[in-house]
Amino acid sequence: MVGAGAGQEPVPPAARAARASRPLRGALRWAAALAVFAVFGASTAYGITRLERTDVPGLATVPDGRWDYPQLVRPPLPEGRPAPFASSNKATAHYADLRELVLPAPRGATADKKLAVSHGWVRTGTFLDEYPLKDDRELLGGVFRDRGLRHIAARGWTTPDGTRTRIYLLQFDTGLVAGEVQQEEFAGYDHAPRTLRGAPSTELDGQFPDSWQLPDVTHYAYDEPRPYGAEQVRQAYLLAGDVIGLVVQSRKGGARAVPFQQTVALQAELLG
């Protein structure tokens, strides 16, 4: 579970105990040990992530591909500012440092040099480079200017198995504006609305069932179907108040589902 930083409302002990017990009960019912992040939600996802494999029946001898992420703690809120989904926050704005809301790399990963900038922000053009079609880059660039994109925080890494991950968080003035941009530009149904580099065709990722959903974070996940090229690309768009997120994972020979689900779930929880 993501910890609360300074300025966050503490979780009552009873609620913490109830939430902490769900991952273990879910794991006991999860004989295949393959879809916990999709089935039990983001809060469960982090609890399961932190359990030792030998502590959970069914996980002692069957690797499931989860990554070892560090302890997650939300950054502190500026004094007097509400949490993004507090009733007093009419703009559903994230007042915490957006750079600190980007999921950290798992242990053993190598930072993406293109995104490993010390200040944590990237240029709009860096994000647009994910889209190979000139028309898409020009259209999105115009939308971002017209709709007042404030800034983009990003992080990327490569794990020892060759999986490349890029995460971008785009922040707008209000949740209303971000929601309109998401629906108009990034929300597809049976396939992704825009072509990402390396993924000329996509389909809705069926391994993200509707039962996985945080109350305040919407996700749209897509997979690249076979036959894919040099790498398989998985992608997910997130909408959380005034922030639109993009999570991309690619790997030669196939991008594995479990670490992708885990990464999306943990990023969603940080934003929620």
Domain ranges of the chain: 13-271
Instruction: For residue 54, give both structure tokens.
Output: 């030998």
Round the average pLDDT of the chain to a whole number and report it: 80
pTM of this prediction exceeds 0.85: no
Residue-level pLDDT at 118: 67
Higher pLDDT, 248 or 24: 248
Q: Which of 9-13, 86-90, 191-195 has the highest mean pLDDT?
A: 86-90
Sequence letter at residue 73: V
Asked if pLDDT for residue 126 goes beyond 60, the answer is yes
Task: With beta carbons less than 8 A apart as the criterion, state whether 194 and 127 touch.
Answer: no
What percent of the chain shows pLDDT beyond 90?
A: 63
